[in-house]
Amino acid sequence: MSKTFYLTTPIYYVNDKPHIGHAYTTILADVLARFHRNAGQETFFLTGLDEHGQKVQQAAEDRGIEPLQHCDEMAPRFIDLWEKLHISYDDFIRTTENRHKIIVQMFLQKVYDAGDIYEDEYEGLYSVSEERFITEKEAESDEFRDIKKLKEKNYFFKMGKYQDALIDHIKSNPKFIQPEHRKNEILGFLRQPLNDLCVSRPKSRLNWGIELPFDKEYVTYVWFDALINYITSPGFGKDHESFDKWWPVSYHLIGKDILTTHAVYWPTMLMSADIELPQSIFAHGWWLMGESKMSKSIGNVINPMDLIDDYGVDPVRYYLMREMVLGQDSNFTMESFIQRYNSDLANDFGNLLSRISTLMKKNYDGRIPDPGELSEAELRIKTEGESLCSTVDGMIKNMRLNEAIENTMQYIRSVNKYMEENAPWKLVKEDKSAAGKILYTAGEALRLGAVLLSPVMPHRTSILLDAFNAPGADLSWGGLKPGATLKDHEPLFPRVK
């Protein structure tokens, strides 16, 4: 295990209204960060906002205000949502911050000095409505208006020069692009010659961006600017000690929609600037709504705020993590959300706590009973719990999150079964110490389950651990202290309709 763990989300377009897709990547990063912190690894989790470019400039113009004011007014929509979702980021970066502009310019100058940026005149079809160059094929569709031939001087990054080096790197580092099918997609893309990348926009057309250090008439192409956030935050060019500590990043978490920019543009940019490449770029699939992509125009976008208000934060986090196989698309339906909530959370998990704590309160003076000498059935629960902890750890490290959660829930179900089979509510009338042993074992198993699920549901599991008077993330058997007083707690997961 390397000493430090650094992971990032994409920086989201400040103009977008946050939806379940943005929430998903950010929760995923948060869950991973919390797992690694619990495992004692020093962790740095970065998220933020992408604030330059045409769309922001346009939106601000439409509102008759300055672009920065527009960004300042839009940013809290994300920040507030992350607070509501209990996102434990360590840094939140906005590309309009000075600390970032300085680094983008330093980076550009470095690449320019290395001879990897050249000036060229580009002639092509330009869509005035979209404010960008389009291909012949795009021009044939009816999506673009006001098309004209345009000749424009711009700056280009010699991306093509790094094609072979990139292919070699991908082939010799199997974890560089994950999952496997995404790696193959990029290798397929790299079978065609790789074009150079236009990294400038003339100010006559767009001025909401970071000025090129070597030509004041131009601003930086928004993707070139945005990707650099990943090194700005840990201190590139400013705090060497910190940068060396965190870089290369452990994971760039992204959606599959932005794979090329991350797996082709970004590594070639880093090669040119002589900076180590990321350890891994992990692309997850999309949340779909009944087979189609969530989109504003179809009007099927799920608003995470509504779900949180209706069901609480942790059930939303749980559903998103449990339901998606990392790397594949997944369908979001309210029916499956409600079903997961009731069966996994209310029936299996929440009920187990209320059963145990009710019996302890009624028969043991509201205290944790003594486990005594463990017999076979109890030892089995203990051994299963211990092996579950190492299974979950391995699965998390291999990004098999939904399986880690399912394994934990299976354990909880087996503890429920153990309770049914041994019926401590009956036994307590004849043999209080035997019943106490069962309750202790079930309670301790539930505590382990709660610690394992705490990165996914930090709030509700903390209520559970608090009720048992056993805070902390200790995964060794025996965290429940005999004699400790139980605390009153609200129902963990009341059933919903």
For ligand MSP, the binding residues (CB under 6 A) are 10-13, 16, 21-22, 24-25, 50, 226-227, 254-255, 257-258, 286-287, 294
Give me the amino acid identity at 464: L
Q: CB neighbours (10 Å) of residue 373?
A: 6
- Given a contact cutoff of 8 angstroms between Cβ atoms, the answer to whether 14 and 56 are in contact is yes
DSSP states of 19-43: -HHHHHHHHHHHHHHHHHHHTT-EE
CA separation for the pair 284, 243 (Å, rounded): 27
**Residue closer to ligand MSP (CB basis): 54 or 354:** 54
- Given a contact cutoff of 8 angstroms between Cβ atoms, the answer to whether 29 and 253 are in contact is yes
**Residue closer to ligand MSP (CB basis): 10 or 449:** 10
**Residue closer to ligand MSP (CB basis): 254 or 389:** 254
CA separation for the pair 39, 395 (Å, rounded): 13
Q: What is the nearest approach in angstroms of ligand MSP to the Cβ of residue 293?
A: 6
Q: What is the nearest approach in angstroms of ligand MSP to the Cβ of residue 485?
A: 44
**Residue closer to ligand MSP (CB basis): 266 or 411:** 266
**Residue closer to ligand MSP (CB basis): 193 or 299:** 299
**Residue closer to ligand MSP (CB basis): 49 or 313:** 49
- 251-255 and 281-284: which strand pairing? parallel
**Residue closer to ligand MSP (CB basis): 226 or 356:** 226
CA separation for the pair 415, 88 (Å, rounded): 31
**Residue nearest ligand MSP, Cβ-based:** 21
Q: What is the nearest approach in angstroms of ligand MSP to the Cβ of residue 170?
A: 19
Q: What is the nearest approach in angstroms of ligand MSP to the Cβ of residue 228?
A: 8
Token pair belonging to 189:
């893309």
Q: What is the nearest approach in angstroms of ligand MSP to the Cβ of residue 301?
A: 9
Q: What is the nearest approach in angstroms of ligand MSP to the Cβ of residue 322?
A: 15
Phi, psi of 336 (to 5 degrees): -70, -30
Q: What is the nearest approach in angstroms of ligand MSP to the Cβ of residue 189?
A: 17
Q: HSE-up of 281 (CA within 13 Å, CB side)?
A: 28
CA separation for the pair 55, 130 (Å, rounded): 10
